[in-house]
Amino acid sequence: MPRLADLDTPAALIDTARLHANIARMQQRMDALGVRFRPHVKTTKCLPIVQAQLAAGARGITVSTLKEAEQFHAAGLHDILYAVCIVPAKLPQALALRRRGCALQILTDSVAAAEAIAACGRTHGEVFDVWIEVDVDGHRSGLPPADDALLAVGRALHDGGARVRGVLAHAGSSYDLDDAAALRTLAEQERAGAVHAAQRLRDVGIPCVEVSIGSTPTALAAASLEGVTEVRAGVYACFDLVMHNVGVCTLDEIALSVLTTVIGHQPAKGWAIVDAGWMAMSRDRGTQKQKHDYGYGQVCTEAGEPIAGYVVGSANQEHGIVCRADGTVTTIEQRFPIGTRLRILPNHACATGAQHPQYAAVMADGSVQAWPRFYGW
């Protein structure tokens, strides 16, 4: 079995000890709060990781593409929520999945799409399970809980060919916070908004059994989930530097890193050149607007220990520039000789993982296993 020293660079590494600890932490919290947990698997798109989440107690999965749903269903998973508002052109793909035995649930936030879903269901003798997305924080999509359009969408689905499974919210603005009290406040806002939306549907005779909320920060910050039936979160399995800046993980809880090798120097600039550019790290600069900018990633030793003050400050396609975060020039060629192998912690685990066809999963005994990722839409 290969070991870390046998890997070519760049390579995406999963520290399995950290991964399993992160999975256990979230599942234990959801169990304590008395809700089902449906992990969002778009971060890793990796069957062994999803199997570990289910083994820990997760029930069902959340996906961001129908291709993910197809791949995971083919691997034996059936309870799948496609948590992106569906367009009518994708309904045949969703219908085919349900006809193959997948308990696929879909999402909408518009009357037009709801009418198309219901019409497709009636035409094909299908009753789609549909969630209505509600907007609890102005982050992205969804209907405000107090908007009458919520009821119009519910009625369109309730007319046949579909049924309202529940309401769904995602407090994505939590990524912009870095204070525990503010996170708790937003978590309560997310909970209350979603519960209110569900009750409004019930009050007009539209069954709404489920209330689903979730982001990694609010899931970890919520003091109460009264009225909520399930939580979704995804990046928690690996964590990343954005989550570290938000305040929900430490650097030594980040399970994903990129293994890289020093291939050159620019001594006058204080640069070490590595073979992990933005093709390996992604172009995501999510920490740039946060309290601590890590450039394209935090530099660590090959064993995974952070090296204080050093980041990948800039990146080209296949070249990363390791430098001091404060811009000072040091004797970089002595600090990082040619051939030195380093790990880089990423800004955004979802984006960095997507750059690689597989993970090199580093096991407790030091051996390495290849864990493929799913791709496509």
Note the pLDDT of residue 330: 87
Domain annotation covers residue 2? no
Contact present, 62 and 40 (Cβ < 8 Å): yes
Domain annotation covers residue 133? yes
Per-position pLDDT tens, the chain of length 377: 899 999 999 999 999 999 999 999 999 999 999 999 999 999 999 999 999 999 999 999 999 999 999 999 999 999 999 999 999 999 999 999 999 999 999 999 999 999 999 999 999 999 999 999 999 999 999 999 999 999 999 999 998 999 999 999 999 999 999 999 999 999 999 999 999 999 999 999 999 999 999 999 999 999 999 999 999 999 999 999 999 999 999 999 999 999 999 999 999 999 999 999 999 999 999 999 999 999 999 999 999 999 999 999 999 999 999 999 999 998 999 999 999 999 999 999 999 999 999 999 999 999 999 999 998 99
Q: Is the pTM of this model over 0.85?
A: yes
One domain for residues 226 and 304: no
Residues 6+ apart with CB under 8 A from 161: 117, 118, 119, 120, 121, 122, 123, 126, 127, 128
One domain for residues 202 and 276: no
The number of folded domains in the chain is 2
Domain annotation covers residue 92? yes
Residue 198 CA to residue 158 CA, distance in Å, equals 14
One domain for residues 230 and 261: no
Contact present, 190 and 134 (Cβ < 8 Å): no
Residue 143: DSSP 8-state = B
- Give the CATH number of the domain where residue 146 resides: 3.20.20.10
Tokens representing residue 78 in the block:
């059936």
Q: State the first-to-last Cα distance of the chain, in angstroms, to the nearest integer.
A: 33
One domain for residues 357 and 291: yes
With CA atoms as reference, report the closest residue to 40 among 60, 20, 62. 62
- Among 203, 237, 271, the domain-final residue is 237
Domain annotation covers residue 246? no
Domain annotation covers residue 377? no
One domain for residues 231 and 84: yes
Query: Which range marks the domain in which residue 314 is found?
Result: 251-372
One domain for residues 229 and 256: no
One domain for residues 265 and 161: no
One domain for residues 146 and 279: no
One domain for residues 82 and 225: yes
Residue 107 CA to residue 326 CA, distance in Å, equals 45
Domain annotation covers residue 350? yes
One domain for residues 260 and 170: no
Domain annotation covers residue 278? yes
Residue 241 CA to residue 325 CA, distance in Å, equals 15
Note the pLDDT of residue 241: 98
- Among 177, 208, 237, the domain-final residue is 237
- Among 175, 202, 237, the domain-final residue is 237
Using CB atoms within 10 Å of the CB of residue 101, give its burial: 0 to 12 exposed, 13 to 18 middle, 19+ buried. Answer: exposed
Tokens representing residue 133 in the block:
């997305």
Cis ω for the linkage preceding 92 (within 30 of 0)? no
One domain for residues 225 and 262: no
One domain for residues 189 and 275: no
- Give the CATH number of the domain where residue 323 resides: 2.40.37.20
Domain annotation covers residue 164? yes
